[in-house]
Each structure stands twice: as structure tokens, then as C-alpha cells.
Amino acid sequence: MAKTVPVAQAVGMVLPHDITEIRQGEFKGRAFRKGHIIRAEDIEHLKRLGKEHVYILELGHDEIHEDEAAQKLAAALAGSGIMSGGEPVEGKIGLCAAHDGLLRVDQEALYRFNLLGEVMCATLHHNTQVKAGQQVAATRLIPLVGKRQVVDEAVALADNQGLGAVRVEPLRTAAAGLVITGNEVYHGRIKDAFEPVLREKLAALGSEVIAVRKAPDDAAQIAAAIGDCLAAGADLIVTSGGMSVDPDDVTREGIARAGTREIAYGTPVLPGAMFLVGYLAHQGKEIPVLGLPACGMFHRTTVFDLLLPRILVGEKIDRRALARMGHGGLCLNCKHCLYPVCPFGK
């Protein structure tokens, strides 16, 4: 139970919660910390903050203070790769990435957690790439004092059967094999522009290119080039070009001839509608095979950038996963690209 006391009569009493001060354009933070003993000289300051009364708490056995609740909620929400941001500040605790990786949020568990009403957790978007130490979520009890039963229910939902509703998964280091297709490149009529782009994107995620093969618009030679990359030790195959509808576009056929199965061609994402993903069994492993259309050379960000991190944390991409990408899958083609700080892929 919280009792209210006029501030003029509160000298010597202990504040049970932080009191926030906001000065527009200058400052937002704690003016008085939880546990502060109110002094006579604090009275006018409190009144300037609009505080005519302060709370004095007397908790019942079925009640819980916001700080204790925040600690319980944060511990339950935190899955692998998550560390607590420390002690509650203004009743909130942040959750931070323990290492670089891909943020994974159980959105259904988060929804059911927030549906309780007296608790909250806000996160970054599911599948956001994050850096070690970056805040990825924050949680709190909304009232100063809540019911333990509600917090216990929230903890069970947040715990998510021991997995936590929020986690950060590390990206594996892939050994990529690139297969650059097209007669114009193979015969030296034009300089290949795909390889440097792909090398840069893979390196940015901590992966490396270990083999590059060029193949003409011939399905058998494309299949052989994929085989050469596998023999060189590649555990990720990326092909470029030949994914459209022209008669010479036979890269899909070459990918299939190489033994690739579970092929899903076409995505509801722009740029990247003619992207392909499939899987090839090799030496007891399932090797992802990605087919990039020509847009990957022209556009800075495509469906490839959305999916590659997910593949590097071990997610298997199928037709259902691709179909879900339609919502948020339209790139705005901004003059000055700010990806990933934009709605693309979210």
C-alpha cells in the first residue's frame, strides 16, 4: 500500500522511487534517487517538479515494488547472449547484447507478456544486427507497486520455457564460394562488378571468400563451378546473375544440377524478387546456396542483406519464411541510404 504525505511534512522520510526532472532541451534524468532522505531544502525543488505529495510505501505480502519487479522481469526475459544493463533506473532495466550477433525476439511471447498490462518490455526489431554492449530491450513494472501474482505470470511468459523471450545469436564465420555467371563476364567482355560487392558484404559479417569461379551461361558448367567451390571447402555458395527470365538465364538450372534441393525461388521483397535459396547436401552438411539477381550489383541493400545474417545464425529459410517478408519488404530507395536505420525488412 502506498500512502501519500504532503511534501512539507515529508522531511526525514525516505523516497521509495526515483523522481524524474525534465528541462526541455537540457536535461532528463533523476532529480532525486530512490532511497533519498528528504531534507528541508528539497521541499521547494520538489514543488517545482509538480510534487505536492510523496509516497510512503507499506507493501502487503501480495505486493511488489517496481525495482524488485524489474529485476525479476529482466532476468526472465534474458536469453542467451543477453546481459542485464545493471540496477533499475527510474524503475527500468535495460537488456544489452553480450556479444555481436543477430537479435532474436520471440514475438508471440513478448505479445502475451505485454498483454498483461501492468508490465512492459520494448525491444529492437527481431533480426536486427547488434553489437556487444548495445541495448536491445528494456522492461519495467508500470505502476510503482504491483501485484506479485501478475509479475509471477509475466516472469513465466518471459522465461519462455527457459529460452528467454530475447536473445542474441552469434553469426558463424562462413567460408563462401562465389560463382559468377554470365557469358559477358566469362569471356572478358565486361569487368565483373559482383565479386567486390559480395566480398565486402561477407567480410562485414565476419565471413570470408575462399573460392571464386566464373561460368558462362551453361547449366552444366555452373553446376561444375559450384562443385569446385565445395571441393575447395566452401560451406556457403553464392551465385550471381542469370536469375531472370531471358533464354540465357540458366543459373537456376545449374544450381539444381549441382544437387541443390528445397529450392525456393522468388521473394516478396524489392529489390530482390528473383532471389533464390536452396540447400545442398555435402559431406554430411547442409550447405546453403543463394542465387542473387542482378539487383544485388546495382542496389546497396537488397533481400540478400536481410537474409544472409539469418542464414549465418543457422536459420533454415523456406518458402514460408520468404512469404513473411512481404510486410516491410519494400525498399524506399532513398537517395542517401541509411540502412539498417530504416523500415526495410522490418
**Tens digit of each residue's pLDDT (9 = 90 or more) over 94-115:** 999 999 999 999 999 999 999 9
**For cell 515494488, what's the residue?**
65
Q: What is the CATH number of the domain that holds 258?
A: 3.40.980.10
Q: Give 300's DSSP letter.
A: S
Structure confidence at residue 86 (pLDDT)? 84
Cis peptide before 271 (omega within 30 of 0): yes
Do 252 and 314 contact (CB within 8 A), yes or no?
A: no
51 with 67, same domain: the answer is no
202 with 260, same domain: the answer is yes
DSSP string, 233-291: T-SEEEEES--SSSTT--HHHHHHHTT-EEEEE--S-BS-TT-EEEEEEETTEEEEEEE
- On whether residue 204 sits in a domain, the answer given is yes
Structure confidence at residue 65 (pLDDT)? 87
Q: What is the CATH number of the domain that holds 150?
A: 3.90.1170.30
Per the structure, how many domains does the chain have?
3
Structure confidence at residue 57 (pLDDT)? 73
How many helical (H) and strand (E) elements, i.e. helices and strands, does the chain have? 11, 19
- On whether residue 74 sits in a domain, the answer given is yes
87 with 201, same domain: the answer is no
141 with 88, same domain: the answer is yes
180 with 312, same domain: the answer is yes
Structure confidence at residue 130 (pLDDT)? 97
Percentage with pLDDT > 70 across the chain: 99
- On whether residue 336 sits in a domain, the answer given is no
Give the residue-averaged pLDDT of 3-25: 88
Domain enclosing residue 92, as ranges: 63-169
216 with 274, same domain: the answer is yes
pLDDT band at 3 (very low <50, low <70, confident <90, very high): confident
| 313-335 pLDDT per residue, tens | 999 999 999 999 999 999 999 98
- On whether residue 322 sits in a domain, the answer given is yes
SS3 at position 43 = helix
Assess whether pLDDT exceeds 70 at residue 2: no
Cis peptide before 16 (omega within 30 of 0): no
107 with 214, same domain: the answer is no
89 with 201, same domain: the answer is no
34's enclosing H/E stretch is none
Of the candidates 70, 118, 122, the one whose C-alpha atom is nearest the C-alpha of residue 91 is 70
Q: What is the pTM of this model?
A: 0.86
317 with 191, same domain: the answer is yes
Assess whether pLDDT exceeds 80 at residue 247: no
318 with 240, same domain: the answer is yes
SS3 at position 86 = coil
- On whether residue 339 sits in a domain, the answer given is no
Give the residue-averaged pLDDT of 32-38: 83
103 with 35, same domain: the answer is no
Instruction: Show which of 57, 76, 93 is a domain's final residue.
Output: 57
Q: Across the beta sheet with 101-105, what order do the strands follow? A: 129-130, 101-105, 166-169
Give Cα 82 distance to the centre of its chain.
12
Q: What is the CATH number of the domain that holds 33?
A: 3.90.105.10
C-alpha cell of residue 23: 528541462
For residues 251 and 298, give the distance between their C-alpha atoms in angstroms, rounded to a whole number.
Answer: 19
Give Cα 103 distance to the centre of its chain.
3
Assess whether pLDDT exceeds 90 at residue 36: no
- On whether residue 343 sits in a domain, the answer given is no
Structure confidence at residue 1 (pLDDT)? 58
Q: Identity (one letter) of the amino acid at 212?
A: V
| 66-79 pLDDT per residue, tens | 889 999 999 999 99
- On whether residue 335 sits in a domain, the answer given is no
CB atoms within 10 A of CB 257: 17
For residues 274 and 303, give the distance between their C-alpha atoms in angstroms, rounded to a whole number.
Answer: 10
192 with 289, same domain: the answer is yes
Mean pLDDT of the chain: 93
- On whether residue 333 sits in a domain, the answer given is no
Assess whether pLDDT exceeds 70 at residue 288: yes
Give the residue-averaged pLDDT of 277-286: 97
Instruction: Show which of 31, 57, 83 is a domain's final residue.
Output: 57
